[in-house]
């Protein structure tokens, strides 16, 4: 199991313009209200839309949601599907927003 990524590390990597594979599992309305990029595949439809994920199973993938619970579920699903390097954003987007204040 890959360790979670914290908000500070993610912000640092984004600031360095690192090419990150982000999947936001919040509902579309949440995504359009506030997001940090990535693909929006809501957890409620995740299993049915898993074919939208075009990343290699060996790529690092960071799953995000509001507080880190839905994204942890998505991490578990992706791991079960054979993705090897899936990391959950610990504390979710709320952690990012607190750091950016």
Give me the pLDDT at residue 1, please.
Answer: 82
Give me the pLDDT at residue 100, please.
Answer: 87
**Phi, psi values for residue 16, rounded to 5°:** -85, 10
Read off the pLDDT of residues 62-87 as tens digits, 9 standing for 90 and up: 999 999 999 999 999 999 999 999 99
Residue spans per domain, the chain: 7-99
CATH of 7-99 among 2.40.50.140, 3.40.50.300, 1.10.260.40, 3.40.250.10: 3.40.250.10
In whole angstroms, give the CA distance from residue 13 to residue 25: 20
The DSSP line for 27-93 is: -HHHHHHS--SSEE--GGGTGGGGGG--S-TTSEEEEE-SSSHHHHHHHHHHHHTT-SEEEEBTTHH
User: What average pLDDT does range 23-33 have in this prediction?
Assistant: 98
pTM: 0.96
């Amino acid at each position: 199991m890959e360790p979670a990524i914290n908000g500070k590390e993610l912000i640092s990597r984004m600031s360095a313009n690192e090419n990150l594979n982000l999947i936001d599992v919040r509902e579309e309305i949440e995504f359009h209200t506030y997001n940090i990029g990535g693909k929006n595949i809501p957890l409620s439809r995740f299993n049915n839309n898993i074919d939208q994920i075009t990343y290699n199973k060996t790529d690092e993938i960071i799953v995000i949601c509001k507080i880190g619970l839905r994204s942890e579920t998505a991490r578990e699903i992706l791991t079960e599907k054979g993705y090897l390097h899936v990391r959950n954003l610990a504390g979710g987007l709320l952690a990012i927003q607190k750091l950016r204040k």
